[in-house]
Amino acid sequence: MQKNNLIVVYWLFFTCFMVGAMAVIGAITRLTESGLSIVEWHAFKDMMPPLHHTEWERLFAVYQTTPEYLKINHGMSLESFKQIYFWEWLHRLWGRLIGLVYALPLAFFWLRNMIPQGYKGKLLIGLLLGGLQGFMGWYMVASGLVDRPDVSHYRLAAHLGLAFAIFAYLYWLALSIRDKTPDKIYSFCLMRHGIIALVFLSITIVWGAFTAGLEAGMIYNTWPLMGGQFTPPEALASITESHAWVQFSHRWLAAITLFVIGSFAWRVKSLWLMGAIMIQFILGISTLLSQLWIPLAAMHQLGALIVLATLITILNSMWRKRTCLK
């Protein structure tokens, strides 16, 4: 591999790491109910935390006008506000840092003609996706600042789904530029199985975002039964609106995904993928039983990223093997 290509690969892998860390920070922000603590949005001013008491009081006064404070956190102290402010501030700061870590080296590589042939447009797409993600973050937060005391779980799912998509896209590019000799056998049947596994994983992640957005994990903290029976006691109204049925859907989508990915891992003889999906499933159950204990829930979010990265590594190798066979 050329030296320039290696530098670009390391840069993309590091950006993927930052995106993954962002997803975990976002999970903690959601679990600590910190996401609506910062009402204002400034491109650069918010990069520094409040430095004096007067500014803290001003920001707290603005927060006190929001539906979340009026309907849920009425009477919150300034010290408690500072705690939830920290996670949302860190989440936004980390997003800005990702933008800088991606955009500045991209400009440098472009000017120095260090980008591999055929990848300029693809890397620009990554930049556009990052900008879209920033907009989605604002769009999600805005849904909880008008009438409702929380964000739309649909917008949360879009925000999280886009984060995973960006991670997957950049990781795929890094693997492709690295161009390591493919170590997986290609067949149409195996590739189809792997893509189906990726689809099921993606749907399960989206339903996990629905579950988080509705705080549906706070009910029926038993497994595998819900209220002593297989299905929720509540009548089926909506699998995307009902707290109980959203959790039920996420549970068994995860079980199906475990089977689909596990069987794919067995077929391609990948102990890493098999171990990753089994640990992720156990983490999901443990998170539910613990009533969303934050360390476990954060690890569950990280586990989804690890499963995704492991699956993409295999699919990328098979795809390049397919190209070599042409």
Looking at the fold, whether 15 and 161 belong to one and the same domain comes out as yes
**What confidence tier does 77 reach under pLDDT thresholds 50, 70, 90?**
very high
Domain membership of residue 41 as a residue range: 1-179
Cβ atoms of 206 and 153 within 8 Å: the answer is: no
Instruction: Examine the domain organization and report whether 150 and 172 are in the same domain.
Output: yes
Q: Dump the DSSP string for 217-281.
A: GGS---SS-BTTBSS-SS----TTT-HHHHHHHHHHHHHHHHHHHHHHHHHHT-HHHHHHHHHHH
**Count of C-beta atoms within a 10 Å radius of residue 256:** 13
Q: What's the pLDDT score for residue 147?
A: 84
- Give the chain's largest Cα–Cα span: 67
State yes or no: pLDDT of 92 exceeds 60. Answer: yes
Last residue of a domain, one of 147, 179, 211: 179
Per-residue pLDDT at 325: 52
**Whether 194 and 154 share a structural domain:** no
Does residue 281 sit in the same domain as residue 158?
no
pLDDT for position 324: 61
Q: Which of 161, 179, 197 is the last residue of a domain?
A: 179
Of 99-103, 127-131, 235-239, 260-264, where does mean pLDDT reach its minimum?
A: 235-239
Minimum mean pLDDT among 68-82, 181-195, 233-247, 257-271: which range? 181-195
Q: Which residue has the higher pLDDT, 246 or 51?
A: 246
Mean pLDDT, all residues of the chain: 92
**Of 324, 321, 305, 311, the residue nearest 26 (C-alpha):** 305
pLDDT band at 45; cut points 50, 70, 90: confident
Given 146, 179, 212, the domain boundary residue is 179
Do 160 and 214 sit in the same domain of this protein?
no
Q: Is the pLDDT of residue 1 over 60?
A: no
Residue 182 has pLDDT above 60, yes or no: yes
> Quick one: 175 and 56 in the same domain?
yes
Q: Check residue 48 and give its pLDDT.
A: 84
Residue 27 has pLDDT above 60, yes or no: yes
Q: Does the pLDDT at position 289 exceed 80?
A: yes
CB burial of 264-298 (b: ≥16 within 10 Å; e: otherwise) equals bbeebebeebbebbeebbebbbebbeeebeeebbb
Same domain, 73 and 175: yes
Same domain, 268 and 229: yes
Read off the pLDDT of each residue in 236-259 and give the average, rounded to a whole number.
94
Res 290 pLDDT > 90: yes
Q: Does the structure show a pLDDT above 60 at 326?
A: no
DSSP 3-state assignment of 149?
Answer: coil
Same structural domain, 62 and 205 = no
Work out how many domains the chain is built from and give that number: 2
* Whether residue 261 sits in one domain with residue 126: no
| Alpha-carbon gap, residue 102 to 259, rounded angstroms | 36
Pick the range with the lowest mean pLDDT from 31-45, 61-75, 305-319. 31-45
Q: Quote the pLDDT of residue 323.
A: 65
Cis upstream peptide for 295 (omega within 30°): no
Structure tokens at 206: 């989206």
Asked whether the beta carbons of 114 and 8 are under 8 A apart, the reply is: yes
Higher pLDDT, 326 or 267: 267
Residue 51: its pLDDT value, please? 87
- Asked if 47 and 157 sit in the same domain, the reply is yes
Peptide bond into 224 cis (omega under 30): yes
Average pLDDT over residues 127-132: 96
DSSP 8-class letter at 46:
G
Residue entry with tokens 């579950």 = 211
**241 and 125: one domain?**
no
> Residues for the chain: how many in total?
326
